[in-house]
């Protein structure tokens, strides 16, 4: 009988979980360094993370494309300043292919359990494709991957078509249907203008109004793209300009009066220009300080809301009975379709329930009072575990790819140190982790996320901590978190010799 070929990457130096921007970015850098002993485990059937999963009509990035890409792999061919999701997914797929990551990728390999072995000081990751063994485990699972459904009584009894924005049903015809959209966040404001064009009736359930600033999108001309292709420096110069402009916007999040007033004016003047009806404008006016929730960018959301077939219900979806959706204001709407654009599991990561460190302790239990990690990358009680795009990395004003690259630099330096010191175990103490977390909490207390008078996905509702956010300028994250300091790690243990 034929026998299957053993997987050469079943036992490696580095196991990476997740093939989005974080996991692929680390994989590319390892390959460029000549490393071959690593595997990237991906639960889906392709790379791309959020950009593979989000295929809803109008999906696009709200960070400028030249900045929302790897600094070590710039793209001169972006079609526009804010590229569509398909282009970003294509960019990631091309990066994986052209950088030679194919042999290192394992699809359909969801991390069912990752467990630290106290005897040989290594990680075992159990997947549907079997077990994988590694010296170092890198959790690059992100926090915008596991969908979150609203807790609405009767939602499961809805007799029409129901789906989350990140699990779009392209097989169901939406033209001429009565559609409800739950939520007014970053995805919803891109979806609503598209559905308004084809729906018979569209109801938007708004729990709280977002601040929306002009998008100022534009197409890159062929002349510009030709220049980008000929001279790499022009792309780098644009990236640098965009980065420092965006980073300056953090001053508003620190409640600096002039910057806060400017940010608020940009949003509210945009609303005034696009919405003339005072009653509707009042419903669309936020009741919290700008920056407390993510500031959104759109030029077509407000016009879409004013279409005759669109109704803004300035109240949350309260319950569902059959085909009828009831708002918290008591209004009833007969619907054929419900699209829930209600975000993701962000503060209580599902992946944390599958990672077990010393003594068999779950990462979720370690994080029961909120996610935290030393330099946003290392956690006490979880040796040789590194987190990419985890706690303390989210931004509301700049590109998360910049943050990811800073973490990759830290991680690569840690791997180099291990190689030079007989593969010693790296683990931070609780004291060091807690001290770093305390500094972030103190910094967050001075920002609009805590003091802005709203609830948002940046906050852990269990304790009110801003566990996801970096409470400072992005460039300070690189200054502080990219360098690797071996003195911060307890590396007294030697890795066990392999059999």
Which run of H or of E encompasses 140? none
Q: What is the pTM of this model?
A: 0.95
123 and 172 together in one domain: no
Domain closes at, from 340, 365, 381 = 340
In a domain, 255, yes or no: yes
* Residue written as token pair 């300035």: 314
Q: Closest by alpha carbon to 447, among 425, 473, 408?
A: 473
Element (H, E) at 324: strand 324-327
SS3 387: strand
Q: Are residues 175 and 304 in the same domain?
A: yes
233 in a domain, yes or no? no
- Where a domain ends, among 340, 356, 381? 340
- pLDDT score recorded for residue 493: 52
Number of other residues whose CB lies within 10 A of the CB of residue 74 = 17
Domain membership flag for residue 92: no
pLDDT score at 4: 60
Residue-wise pLDDT tens for the chain (499 aa)?
444 678 999 999 999 999 999 999 999 999 999 999 999 999 999 999 999 999 999 999 999 999 999 999 999 999 999 999 999 999 999 999 999 999 999 999 999 999 999 999 999 999 999 999 999 999 999 888 899 999 999 999 999 999 999 999 999 999 999 999 999 999 999 999 999 999 999 999 999 999 999 999 999 999 999 999 999 999 999 999 999 999 999 999 999 999 999 999 999 999 999 999 999 999 999 999 999 999 999 999 999 999 999 999 999 999 999 999 999 999 999 999 999 999 988 888 999 999 999 999 999 999 999 999 999 999 999 999 999 999 999 998 999 999 999 999 999 999 999 999 999 999 999 999 999 999 999 999 999 999 999 888 888 889 899 999 999 999 999 999 999 999 999 754 543 333 3
230, part of any domain: no
Interatomic CA distance for residues 401 and 60, integer angstroms: 16
Query: If residue 28 lies in a helix (H) or strand (E), which one and from where to where?
Result: helix 21-32
Gap between the Cα atoms of 297 and 214, Å rounded = 6
Q: Does one domain contain both 335 and 351?
A: no
Say if 325 falls within a structural domain.
yes
Same domain, yes or no: 287 and 372: no
Residues 6+ apart with CB under 8 A from 450: 444, 459, 464, 466
| Residue of 212, 230, 232, 220 lying closest to 272 (CA atoms) | 212
The pLDDT of residue 496 is 38
Q: Are 334 and 351 in a shared domain?
A: no
- Give the Cα separation of 103 and 362 in Å (integer): 31
Own/partner long-range contacts of 247-250 (Cβ < 8 Å, ≥24 apart): 247/397, 247/398, 247/473, 247/474, 247/475, 249/397, 249/398, 250/397, 250/398, 250/472, 250/473, 250/474
Expressed as residue numbers, the domain containing 18 is 11-47+101-146+345-490
Q: Is residue 39 situated within a structural domain?
A: yes
Tell me: do 38 and 168 sit in the same domain. no
Same domain for 336 and 455: no
User: What is the length of the chain?
Assistant: 499
Shared domain for 253 and 386, answered yes or no, is no
| Count of the separate structural domains present in the chain | 2
Side-by-side strand order, sheet with 332-334: 317-321, 324-327, 332-334
Domain boundary among the residues 290, 308, 340 is at 340
Q: Looking at residue 499, what is its pLDDT?
A: 32
Q: Are residues 319 and 382 in the same domain?
A: no
Any idea which residue has 């779950």 for tokens? 362
Let me know if residue 160 belongs to a domain: yes
Which pLDDT value is given to residue 2? 45
CATH number at residue 263: 3.50.50.60
- Considering the domain architecture, whether residues 257 and 351 belong to the same structural domain is answered as no
CA distances from 461 to 41, 54, 149, 196, 368 (A): 31, 26, 16, 33, 12
The total of other beta-carbon atoms located within 10 Å of residue 279's CB is 8
E strands in 29-182 = 38-42, 105-107, 113-117, 122-127, 130-139, 161-164, 178-182
Residue 347's pLDDT is what? Answer: 85
CA of residue 338 relative to chain centroid, distance: 24
Question: Residue 483 falls within a domain, yes or no?
Answer: yes
Q: Examine the domain organization and report whether 313 and 364 are in the same domain.
A: no
The verdict on 417 and 436 lying in the same domain is yes
């Amino acid at each position: 009988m034929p026998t299957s070929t053993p997987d050469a990457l079943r036992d490696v130096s580095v196991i990476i979980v997740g093939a989005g921007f974080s996991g692929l970015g680390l994989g590319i850098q390892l390959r460029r360094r000549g490393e071959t002993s690593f595997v990237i485990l991906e639960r889906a059937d392709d790379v791309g993370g959020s950009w593979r999963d989000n295929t809803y009509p109008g999906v696009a990035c709200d960070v400028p494309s030249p900045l929302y890409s790897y600094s070590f792999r710039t793209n001169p061919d972006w079609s526009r300043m804010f590229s569509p999701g398909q282009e970003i997914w294509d960019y990631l797929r091309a990066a994986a292919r052209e950088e030679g990551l194919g042999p290192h990728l394992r699809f359909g390999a969801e991390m069912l359990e990752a467990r630290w072995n106290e005897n040989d000081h290594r990680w075992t990751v159990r997947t549907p494709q079997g077990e994988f063994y590694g010296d170092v485990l890198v959790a690059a699972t992100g926090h915008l991957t596991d969908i979150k459904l609203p807790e609405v009584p009767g939602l499961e009894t809805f007799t029409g078509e129901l789906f989350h924005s990140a699990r779009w049903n392209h097989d169901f015809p939406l033209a001429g249907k009565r559609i409800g959209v739950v939520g007014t966040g970053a995805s919803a404001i891109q979806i609503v203008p598209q559905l308004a064009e084809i729906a018979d009736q569209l109801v938007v359930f708004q729990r709280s109004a977002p601040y929306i600033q002009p998008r100022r999108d534009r197409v890159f001309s062929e002349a510009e793209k030709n220049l980008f292709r000929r001279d790499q420096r022009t792309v780098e110069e644009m990236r640098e300009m965009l980065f420092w402009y965006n980073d300056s916007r953090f001053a508003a999040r620190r409640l600096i009066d002039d910057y806060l007033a400017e940010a608020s004016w940009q949003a509210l003047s945009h609303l005034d220009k696009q919405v003339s009806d005072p009653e509707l404008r009042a419903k669309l006016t936020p009741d919290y300080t700008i920056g407390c929730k993510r500031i959104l960018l759109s030029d077509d959301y407000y016009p879409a809301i004013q279409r005759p077939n669109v109704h803004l219900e300035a109240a949350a979806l309260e319950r569902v009975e059959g085909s009828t959706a009831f708002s918290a204001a008591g209004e009833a709407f007969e619907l054929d379709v419900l699209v829930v654009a209600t975000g993701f599991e962000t503060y209580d990561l599902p992946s944390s329930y599958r990672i077990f460190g010393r003594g068999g302790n779950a990462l979720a239990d370690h994080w029961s009072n909120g996610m935290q990690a030393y330099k946003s990358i290392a956690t006490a009680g979880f040796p040789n575990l590194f987190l990419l795009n985890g706690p303390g990395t989210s931004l509301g004003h700049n590109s998360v790819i910049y943050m990811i690259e800073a973490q990759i630099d830290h991680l690569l330096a840690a791997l180099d140190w291990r190689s030079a010191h007989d593969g010693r175990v790296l683990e931070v103490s609780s004291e060091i982790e807690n001290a770093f977390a305390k500094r972030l909490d103190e910094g967050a207390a001075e920002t609009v996320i805590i003091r802005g008078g709203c609830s948002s996905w940046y906050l852990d509702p269990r304790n009110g901590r801003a566990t996801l956010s970096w409470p400072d300028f992005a460039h300070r994250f690189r200054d502080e978190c990219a360098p690797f300091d071996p003195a911060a790690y307890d590396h007294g243990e030697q890795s066990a010799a392999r059999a």
